[in-house]
Amino acid sequence: MEWYDILIGVALLIAAIVIIGIILLQEGRRQGIAGAISGGADTFLSKSKAHSLSEKLRRATKYVALIFILLVIAANVICILL
């Protein structure tokens, strides 16, 4: 096992953990009746804060997933070539 195999493996592990963390931080799209009971009377400002955080998390998920996919492709290419 070469140093670049270990480096890509560690990078893949970190990217996977980050993706899992970001996804767990996101809210569900439908809150249902429980969401209406617990937080149905949110103010305008709190809704805009939640919306901007939700958008940031969604955007971060896309970027980290892209990095993860590129790392997987790089790992496969390195394994095939070497």
pLDDT at position 41 is 52
Instruction: State how far the alpha carbon of 3 is from the alpha carbons of 69, 75, 76, in Å.
Output: 20, 12, 15
Domain ranges of the chain: 3-81
- What letter would DSSP give residue 29? S
> Alpha carbon of 50 to those of 12, 37, 53, 54, 57: distances in Å?
30, 17, 5, 6, 10
pLDDT value for 28 = 77
Token reading at 32: 């249902």
9-53 residue pLDDT tens: 999 999 999 999 999 998 876 655 555 555 555 555 555 665 788
> What was the pLDDT predicted at 5?
87
